Structure 1
Amino acid sequence: MLITDDFLPVPVPETLSATYLVPTSATPETSPAAAVDALAGRLAGPVHDLARQMLDSPLMTVDTRPVSEFPRLPPELLTAFGATDEQLARLAAATHLVVVQATYRPGWPPAHEWAARTVAAAMAEVVGGDLVDVFGLQFLDPASALRSLPDADGRMRLVDWVLVPYSSDEDGLWFTTKGLRRFGLLELQAQGVPAHLTRAWGAVMTGAARRLLRAWVDGLTDEEVPAFVQLPVLTAVTGHDIAVAYGNSERHDATAPALLRLELDPATDPEADSFLSLRPPSEHDGPVDRYFAGVCEIVFASAKSDVRYARPGDAMARAIATARDGLPEIRNRFLTGALPEDAQLVVKYGLPTDDGPEFVWAGVTSWSSPERILGASASDAASDPSVRIGCPVVIDASDVVDWAVLDGGGVMEGGWTQAVLDSGEHQ
């Protein structure tokens, strides 16, 4: 392997593994194979076939064990990654765990993850519960887990597999990824990020993860698993990388690339994780936080929002009330997969400004907690440079003023506030 200053050799693990748990209070009467068979037609054919093949091989095991035989899952970490009180209560009441484990070699496809998540989601449907992604310490309802799996062309949303948690320290915010190790790659980190860039930098980290994962997979195409894969020291991130990572593959943001330098930070503790750190290029001699702010300006340079409304009148107030009354039902339909095929659920919510709220739309990606919605922004905000099309947003349900179900032809259902705006009755 040729070693140069332009590339960073990153070690490749020999094997990868995935573990999913399904809490239950009774031993499932349906076999894993029968549960997966019941998903026929609801999954892309290649993924369904992959799950069946893994089930029939020694690469996957599915066991039902008493809870006492498995280490206790930390509720505080589960909560930090989105667990609801109801999910934690069901876990606490469970007497058994269906344990789904799979192993595979590094490369593409990540058969261990796709197959294990498929089988766990199928078993969760059988017992009427949720599944726990042990790697991410994250609860998933079966419908969300199945939606995260790739389509017939192998495309998936990286945000369904890689989280970007952050914490604060004396130098600013410390961001990491949690999910790249599913694919054998070291996790990313960035330190010294300004606090006002919280949402924007989370999207940049996700876009960088998408770019580096592609380079990683390209280095694993040989039949023999290499000892190292060379990743470019200077990585370019664009708005398109971010949009694709959030599932907006049709959007091609015409933003200039922003450069980030990759540096290996090996762990000194054998029990700790090593990281790939994102830093400014070597020639940058200014503050790190200023460079990171410049990166965000580059990748989010796009059109301004045109979704800005005045204080609502009576007609608008009635429209908002109608939409909010329908939130519990539309959430239930979203979670149970009862929306029309190929339809998308979007919500409108308000961003605070000095002149009153600016209302923007977002496509719903997860709604496990009634109070919190995870989504991808469907419009660019004028008031917040971090809210750009394709970027992740976390929405308080109390801020939602409208929702709509969309298909290729437009609004199928909902959109009451937009109807009022179109009619001119909102003054």
Structure 2
Amino acid sequence: MLITDDFLPVPVPESLSATYLVPTVGLPSVTARTAVSGLAGRLAEPVHGLARQMLDSPLMSVDVRPIGEFPELPPDLLSAFGAGAEQLDRLAAASHLVVVQAEYRPGWPPAHEWAARAVAAAVAETVGSDVVDVFGLQFLDPAAALRTLPDAQGRVRLVDWVLVPYSSDAEGLWFTTKGLRRFGLLELQTQGVPDHLTRAWGAVMTGAARRLLRDWTDGLTGDDVPAFVQLPVLATVTGHDIAVAYGNPEQHGATAPVLLRLELDPATDPEADSFLSLRPPAGHAGPAGRYFAAACATLFAGIQPDVRYARADDAMSRAVATARAGLGDIRARFRGGRLPAETQLVVKYGLPGVDGPEYVWAGVTSWDSPERIVGVSASDSNTDATVRIGSPVAVEAADIVDWAVLDATGVIEGGWTQAVLDAGNPPTP
């Protein structure tokens, strides 16, 4: 293996395992094979066939155990990763667990994860229970678990398999991934992220995970599992990587790439995890947080990914009025192909919330009717779980409060409300 300054050798585990649980009251009334047979026609055939094959092989085991024989799952951690009160109550009331375990070699496809999740979801759906993903410490509704499995083309959303938790420390926010070890890759981490980049950097981490996972699986395509895979020291992340990770590859305009330096941070405690750290490229002057903010500005076209404002002062009112007065002209230029080359039109609009509207941005993909825009969200919403980065959205023109034309450097036209928020004064109309 050639070791250079351009690549980082990352160790490859010999095998990978997946474990899923289905809590039951009493012994389950169905076998795993019967439950999986019931998915015929509902699950994409590559995965349905894979689940049936692994059930009949020594690579998978399905056991029913009294719940006391299995290590207790910590309710506080389950809650932290989204478990609801009813799900925790069903787990507490369960007398038995259906334990689905599978093993497979590192590489793509991750047959152990896909097959084990499919079998557990089939059993849980049949007996009216939940799926517990032991690796992610997550409860999954059976129908939701099935939706995370590959479609007929073998495509999945990485956000269904990799979480990005974060916490605060003295230097800012500490982000990690939780899910890349399913595929044999070390988890990622970033430290010193500014507080205001919470949602944006979570999306960047997800995009970086997608890019590195592709490089990782490309290095595992041979017949033999190598001892190491060489990953590029400078990882390139684009808006397209983020959109693909969120399951919307066709819904994202081009963005300039962002470079992140990859470093191996081995654990000093044998019981702790090692990480791949994402840092600014060598030679970057200033704090890391400044580079992370610039990276988000590039990937999200120079606008804040989720912006709220509640003030109705004169400057903001003038900014909104100026933006709305220009909607007819900017629509005509957009539809007539008269915007500058290599630019994107985005609009800011309001989503209803308990504390007032939440204002988010969306890239415009079509504007056939003056009253309605079809586009793709540029941010995750705090108030609407269906509005996520890269997801398709329909925007009523009456809800628009701003628009902007963007190139690779940021806003080149419009953005009046953003200017008020950032600098206190709108640009001259």
TM superposition score normalised by structure 2: 0.75
Equivalent residue for 1:190?
Answer: 190
Asked if structure 2 preserves the Cα contact closer than 8 Å seen for 1:175 and 1:190, the reply is yes
Equivalent residue for 1:109?
Answer: 109
Equivalent residue for 2:138?
Answer: 138
- Determine what percentage of the aligned residue pairs are the same residue: 73
Asked if structure 1 preserves the Cα contact closer than 8 Å seen for 2:352 and 2:383, the reply is no
Output the CA distance in 2 between the equivalents of 1:390 and 1:149.
25
Output the CA distance in 1 between the equivalents of 2:153 and 2:196.
38
Asked if structure 2 preserves the Cα contact closer than 8 Å seen for 1:66 and 1:97, the reply is yes
Equivalent residue for 2:45?
Answer: 45
The 1:85/1:287 distance shift into structure 2, 3 A limit, reads same
The 1:352/1:379 distance shift into structure 2, 3 A limit, reads farther
Runs of 4+ with deviation above 6 angstroms: 302-305, 307-310, 377-380, 419-422
Output the CA distance in 1 between the equivalents of 2:36 and 2:382.
32
Does 1:62 find its partner at 2:50?
Answer: no
Q: Which amino acid aligns with 2:377?
A: I
Asked if structure 2 preserves the Cα contact closer than 8 Å seen for 1:264 and 1:276, the reply is yes
Q: Which amino acid aligns with 1:35?
A: A
Output the CA distance in 2 between the equivalents of 1:229 and 1:274.
16
Deviation at 1:393, TM superposition (A): 4.3
Q: Which amino acid aligns with 2:352?
A: G
Asked if structure 1 preserves the Cα contact closer than 8 Å seen for 2:67 and 2:95, the reply is yes
Tell me, what secondary structure is at the counterpart of 2:250? coil
Pairs within 5 Å for 1:180-259: 180-259=180-259
Larger radius of gyration: 2
Q: Which amino acid aligns with 1:280?
A: P
Spell out, residue by residue over 1:338-364, the C-alpha distance to the aligned partner (whole angstroms, 9 max, x if none): xxxxxxxxxx843699xx624559xxx
Does 1:389 find its partner at 2:377?
Answer: yes
Asked if structure 2 preserves the Cα contact closer than 8 Å seen for 1:199 and 1:393, the reply is no
Pairs within 5 Å for 1:68-217: 68-217=68-217
Deviation at 1:144, TM superposition (A): 0.6
Q: Which amino acid aligns with 2:90?
A: R
Deviation at 1:126, TM superposition (A): 1.4
Q: Which amino acid aligns with 2:88?
A: L
The 1:258/1:155 distance shift into structure 2, 3 A limit, reads same
Equivalent residue for 2:314?
Answer: none
Asked if structure 2 preserves the Cα contact closer than 8 Å seen for 1:186 and 1:275, the reply is yes
Deviation at 1:254, TM superposition (A): 1.1
Asked if structure 1 preserves the Cα contact closer than 8 Å seen for 2:296 and 2:302, the reply is no
Q: Unaligned regions of 5+ residues in structure 2, if any?
A: 311-349, 366-375, 401-429
Output the CA distance in 2 between the equivalents of 1:84 and 1:274.
30
Q: Which amino acid aligns with 2:224?
A: E
Deviation at 1:198, TM superposition (A): 0.3
Q: Which amino acid aligns with 2:165?
A: P
Output the CA distance in 2 between the equivalents of 1:162 and 1:241.
14
Equivalent residue for 1:316?
Answer: none
Equivalent residue for 1:350?
Answer: 352
Equivalent residue for 2:327?
Answer: none
Output the CA distance in 2 between the equivalents of 1:421 and 1:163.
32
Greater shift in the superposed pair: 256-265 or 293-302: 293-302
Output the CA distance in 2 between the equivalents of 1:58 and 1:395.
46
Deviation at 1:28, TM superposition (A): 1.3
Q: Which amino acid aligns with 1:64?
A: V
Tell me, what secondary structure is at the counterpart of 2:191? strand
Asked if structure 2 preserves the Cα contact closer than 8 Å seen for 1:124 and 1:130, the reply is yes
Pairs within 5 Å for 1:345-424: 349-350=351-352, 357-358=357-358, 389=377, 391-395=379-383
Output the CA distance in 1 between the equivalents of 2:80 and 2:24.
22
Output the CA distance in 1 between the equivalents of 2:33 and 2:236.
43
Tell me, what secondary structure is at the counterpart of 2:251? coil
Q: Which amino acid aligns with 1:201?
A: W
Asked if structure 2 preserves the Cα contact closer than 8 Å seen for 1:165 and 1:175, the reply is yes
Deviation at 1:50, TM superposition (A): 0.4
Deviation at 1:286, TM superposition (A): 1.0
The 1:158/1:194 distance shift into structure 2, 3 A limit, reads same
Output the CA distance in 2 between the equivalents of 1:189 and 1:309.
31
Equivalent residue for 1:340?
Answer: none
Does 1:292 find its partner at 2:280?
Answer: no
TM superposition score normalised by structure 1: 0.76
Equivalent residue for 2:17?
Answer: 17
Q: Which amino acid aligns with 1:395?
A: T
Asked if structure 1 preserves the Cα contact closer than 8 Å seen for 2:358 and 2:383, the reply is no
Output the CA distance in 2 between the equivalents of 1:11 and 1:231.
11
Output the CA distance in 2 between the equivalents of 1:358 and 1:392.
11
Tell me, what secondary structure is at the counterpart of 2:121? helix
For these two proteins, the number of residue pairs brought into alignment is 348
The 1:120/1:165 distance shift into structure 2, 3 A limit, reads same
Equivalent residue for 1:383?
Answer: none
Equivalent residue for 2:279?
Answer: 279
Asked if structure 1 preserves the Cα contact closer than 8 Å seen for 2:297 and 2:304, the reply is no
The 1:421/1:230 distance shift into structure 2, 3 A limit, reads closer
Spell out, residue by residue over 1:280-322, the C-alpha distance to the aligned partner (whole angstroms, 9 max, x if none): 00110211110010110011117899x9999xxxxxxxxxxxx
* CA RMSD between the two structures: 3.1
Q: Which amino acid aligns with 1:202?
A: G
